[in-house]
Chain A
Amino acid sequence: DAGVTQSPTHLIKTRGQQVTLRCSPKSGHDTVSWYQQALGQGPQFIFQYYEEEERQRGNFPDRFSGHQFPNYSSELNVNALLLGDSALYLCASSLAFPRGPRTDTQYFGPGTRLTVL
């Protein structure tokens, strides 16, 4: 049973560029959440996608956008990269209620390490 996968593993970009990160959820899951984890900090919620729509959003600027595909995989796009966007980007998947439990753990992928120079 494949867990959550993310690509690429590492990425180096320069300021002002755009980046796309990809996530495939755990088999059977339909909800994808994205988190940003700066060095030495806990992950911060960016947004969550369900049924191809953004359902919840954290306190991140519009430069951060996403998409969910019919097969439930998801992309995170960041435009006009800043040095402060350097972080580990984590994707987590879950199964939405009522198909899944009302509350359940989220399963995290290994992350994509983004470095902005």
Chain B
Amino acid sequence: KQEVTQIPAALSVPEGENLVLNCSFTDSAIYNLQWFRQDPGKGLTSLLLIQSSQREQTSGRLNASLDKSSGRSTLYIAASQPGDSATYLCAGGDYGGSQGNLIFGKGTKLSVKP
């Protein structure tokens, strides 16, 4: 059974700092790996999707990597801004071909101080 873990649970950094969020999963047969952002009391916004055949994806200041052999993914945020403050969730896609259910970690709560 796939399990997803995120470390750290919370992170506070000053504005402008580069940072890395970590995600680990137990089943290397993961179909894809997605990173989401969630603002307090809100729904999820998709940030990056990495297919199982890919190693990384980039969007603006965000870069996500996937290493299936070690069961790890990282989300790198460059030049952090106060607007980046949110909870970041990673999720493993567990069912091929039909965007089946996603297995989520508990998230990392990021606070970027001005």
Contact = CB atoms under 8 A, between A and B. Distances in A.
Chain B: interface size category:
20 to 34
B83 interface: no
B98 A97 contact: yes
B104 A43 contact: yes
Interface residues of A, number: 33
Contacts of A33: 99, 101-102
Contact of B42 (A58, A106, A110): A110
B104 A56 contact: no
B98 A31 contact: yes
B29 to A, nearest CB: 14
A41 B103 CA distance: 12
8 contacts: A31-B98, A31-B99, A43-B104, A45-B101, A103-B96, A105-B34, A110-B42, A111-B42
